[in-house]
Structure 1
Amino acid sequence: MKRIVREVTSLTDEDFFIVLNHFNAKFDFPIHYHPEYELNLVLDTEGKRIIGDSIKEYKAQDLVLIGSNTPHAWTGEDGKAHVITIQFHTNFLSDKSLTRNIMTPIKEMLDRSKLGITFSPEVTASMIERIERLTTSRGFDSLLEFLSILYDLSISRNQTTLSSASYIGSIAPFKSKRIDAINAYLYDNISRSIKLSEVANIVNMSPSAFSHFFKKRTQRSFSDYLSDLRIGHAAKMLIETDNNISEICFDCGFNNLSNFNRTFKNQKGCTPREFRSQQKLIIKH
């Protein structure tokens, strides 16, 4: 049974962006995705937020940027929340415009948004009034203000990505052909044991030189990085398939169930069974 649905948004080809202003919002929409970017501001409630394979609690004020086709959903207390959602096309700015120096922060933020980005409480608080004004403003000034909001968010400090890259199927660019080759190899062989030495051979390095190179480029040890990929892939299977947990364990390259459960809980804060149950609780048919 699929637990994620595709939403058809009301954004048209003639729109730069749309603003949806929901007072007394009801959280009755299942986990969903759509090709448009979405900036979502949730006020006056608390609950759980799902972005990809990230399930986290939020309180009072929550501001998240969600990339194209990234599954997402919120829960909260029905009838009390105020939710403002801004949706905009992936091509609302041309690729050439985004390569201009002044647009680099926005481009990099949009690239990361496929993982979901949450902003600090201070930044969120500073954006509330500006986002609320967009619900009533019209014309060219509203476009300028929207671009200004995106820029200010893109240069803000303490941004946090939410979903694991392997769940989304996207690895942050490292500007290295060798890292790209390594990622492709890891994805293709995720279901089996992978030794550091065999990956080092792909890029013609000794194991020790490869370890140093990999950590310098990714800021992670190879073993931790591979573990993250496996857990992200497992989370995707827990959400999108009905495979039993033992099958998922071995399909993701773990050689025993206890190690899989322990590693999953260390990374996600819950067991695979609890993770799947939380996903089911979100859905309201």
Structure 2
Amino acid sequence: MKSIKEITPIKSDDPFVILKHKNALFDYPLHFHNEYELTLITNFEGSRTVGDSVEQCEETDLTLLGPELKHLWKSDKVVSNSGVITIQFQEHFLHSKIMSYSVSKDIKKLLELSKRGISFSNPTKKLVSKKVQSIENNTDFKSLLTFLEILHILSTSKDIKVLSSPPSANYSQKRESRRISLITNYIINNYDQEIKLSKVAEMVNMSESAFSHYFKKRTSQSFTSYLMDYRLGVVTKLLTETNMSINEISISAGFNSLSNFNRSFKKKHGISPKEFKVNYHKEVQR
């Protein structure tokens, strides 16, 4: 499904820009932009699309999205007091001097993970919502401190959910370690084949247990979970961008049985592959 590129109002010397919309209509099409985006939506009834993730939202929705990650919100009905507060900040923030300090390591990890999109639940959502609503502008130094505090709270939160799979999120490994890059590239080139933990551990000269611990520490996911997410991301791209049959897609994504494929897909998305395809096109076109 086609998306449009949004040109944001942030200037080169802005630490961030704040956009506030009261009585939002949520009629903006599927889009992406070069900046990170923290979005707080209140009094909302509808769905959220982030990469290949399509979900019904709670009344209050808090998400952090990385650069070039396609997204949109669609309301089920017009709610007069729906509100949106968006904080956008530039991609080079991740590589700024402040991010090179050890105290910023959690924020740096958060921003890397946000390239797949992250949603937050309570109590983090409730705490951060108050702080987001308290920011008035991007010229006040106090606002900058509040912004950094928000990133710190989000980076240490356990109330997170990663939304999109690696392929659909344009997830980049350019700045990953050599070992992680080696493994992720191996997955990209071999996801349609059987991939064993013992094989990838051997590739980086580590025991299976040591590799499992290392991979989870660096990616916030187990290797098995990451591989499954990658394959399911391939599936959603094929479901939304091709006319291949469900069985053909299952085989192309490396699943060894159709029943295992359907079970894994439904566990992640809550619906069958066929239902996902229908719902996806319905959401982005209405």
TM-score, reference length from structure 2: 0.83
Whether the aligned pair in 1 keeps the contact of 2:138 and 2:144 (CA below 8 Å) is no
**Which residue of 2 is the match for residue 75 of structure 1?**
74
In structure 2, do the counterparts of structure 1 residues 195 and 26 end up closer, same or farther at CA, with 3 Å as the change threshold? Answer: same
**Which residue of 1 is the match for residue 29 of structure 2?**
30
Moved more, 39-48 or 14-23: 14-23
User: Which digits, 9 at most, give the CA deviation of each residue in 1:130-169, with x for residues without a partner?
Assistant: 2223246743332232222222322334233222334324
Q: Which amino acid aligns with 1:152?
A: I
- RMSD of aligned residue pairs (Cα, Å): 3.0
**Which residue of 1 is the match for residue 40 of structure 2?**
41
Cα distance in 2 between the residues matched to 1:159 and 1:265: 20
Shift of 1:100: 1.0
Shift of 1:279: 1.6
**Which residue of 2 is the match for residue 231 of structure 1?**
232
Cα distance in 1 between the residues matched to 2:261 and 2:143: 49
Indicate which of 213, 216, 229 corresponds to 1:216. 213
Shift of 1:66: 0.6
Q: Unpaired runs of 5+ in structure 1?
A: none
**Which residue of 2 is the match for residue 264 of structure 1?**
265
Give the secondary-structure state (helix, strand or coil) at the position aligned to 1:75: strand
Cα distance in 2 between the residues matched to 1:92 and 1:174: 14
Shift of 1:124: 1.8
Whether the aligned pair in 2 keeps the contact of 1:61 and 1:121 (CA below 8 Å) is no
Whether the aligned pair in 1 keeps the contact of 2:30 and 2:70 (CA below 8 Å) is yes
Cα distance in 2 between the residues matched to 1:180 and 1:155: 25
Shift of 1:265: 1.5
Q: Which amino acid aligns with 1:78?
A: V
**Which residue of 2 is the match for residue 10 of structure 1?**
9
Whether the aligned pair in 2 keeps the contact of 1:234 and 1:249 (CA below 8 Å) is yes
Whether the aligned pair in 1 keeps the contact of 2:43 and 2:79 (CA below 8 Å) is no
User: Which digits, 9 at most, give the CA deviation of each residue in 1:40-62, with x for residues without a partner?
Assistant: 00101232222222222221211
Q: Which amino acid aligns with 2:212?
A: K
Shift of 1:93: 6.2
Cα distance in 2 between the residues matched to 1:84 and 1:222: 35
Cα distance in 1 between the residues matched to 2:103 and 2:202: 40
Moved more, 135-144 or 231-240: 135-144
Shift of 1:281: 1.9
Cα distance in 1 between the residues matched to 2:201 and 2:145: 49
Shift of 1:65: 0.7
**Which residue of 2 is the match for residue 180 of structure 1?**
181
Cα distance in 2 between the residues matched to 1:155 and 1:64: 15
Cα distance in 2 between the residues matched to 1:160 and 1:262: 20
User: Which digits, 9 at most, give the CA deviation of each residue in 1:160-213, with x for residues without a partner?
Assistant: 3222334324378997644432221121012234455654553467xxx43x34
Moved more, 217-226 or 28-37: 217-226
In structure 2, do the counterparts of structure 1 residues 108 and 193 end up closer, same or farther at CA, with 3 Å as the change threshold? Answer: closer
The percentage of counterpart residues that share the same residue type is: 38
Aligned residues: 280
Q: Which amino acid aligns with 1:16?
A: P
Larger RCO: 1 or 2 (CA < 8 Å, sep 6+): 1
- Listed as ranges, the matches of 1:150-229 within 5 Å are 150-170=151-171, 177-195=178-196, 198-199=199-200, 202-203=203-204, 209-210=207-208, 212-218=209-215, 225-229=226-230
Moved more, 53-62 or 216-225: 216-225
Moved more, 214-223 or 77-86: 214-223
Whether the aligned pair in 2 keeps the contact of 1:84 and 1:132 (CA below 8 Å) is yes
